[in-house]
Structure 1
Amino acid sequence: MRVDIYRRAEHAGHFSYLAVPEGKMIPGEVINTDWELIDRGMDVNDDAKHLDGYPIDAPFEQIAAKGYAITSVKQIDKA
């Protein structure tokens, strides 16, 4: 699968990340924040447990459940 990666600034200089299937719009429930496109068309293996280089766990499970994958609140301070 190919995904587009977005990021937004959080507290203390940290970032959260959002992955959506390539070419799809950011879903309405998260569009009200300032997301910046940082990687377009990133190839991700279908069995990936996380996205290399980004603190997003279980990307395909999240995308299947809600249409996007996002950094867990627990991961923001580590990002």
Structure 2
Amino acid sequence: MRVDIYKRAEHHGQFTYLAVPEGKIIPEEAINTDWELSERGIDVEDNATHLPDFSIDAPHEQIRAKGYAITSVKELADK
């Protein structure tokens, strides 16, 4: 699967990332004016359970369930 990655600034120079299937718009429940395009067309392996560069857990499961995958709040708290 290929995804587009969006980001928004959080506290202390951290970012939250949002992965959306390539070419799709951000689903309405995740629309936020703070999101900015970070990268286009990132390849996500079929067996990927984590996207470490974006602190996103279970990307395929999240996208199937809600149309996007987002950085884990736990990941932000641990940094």
State if a TM-score over 0.5 links the two structures: yes
Q: Please state which structure has a larger fraction of its residues in strand.
A: 2
- How does the TM-score come out when normalised to structure 1? 0.91
Does structure 2 conserve the Cα–Cα contact (< 8 Å) formed by 1:14 and 1:77?
A: no
| Identity %, equivalent residues | 70
The answer for the alignment partner of 1:69 in structure 2 is: 69
Query: Offset of 1:52 from its aligned partner?
Result: 4.1
CA RMSD of aligned residues (A): 1.3
The aligned length equals 79
Q: Which amino acid aligns with 1:67?
A: G
Q: List structure 1 segments (4+ residues) > 4 angstroms apart after TM superposition.
A: none
- How does the TM-score come out when normalised to structure 2? 0.91
Alignment of 1:27-46 (within 5 A): 27-46=27-46
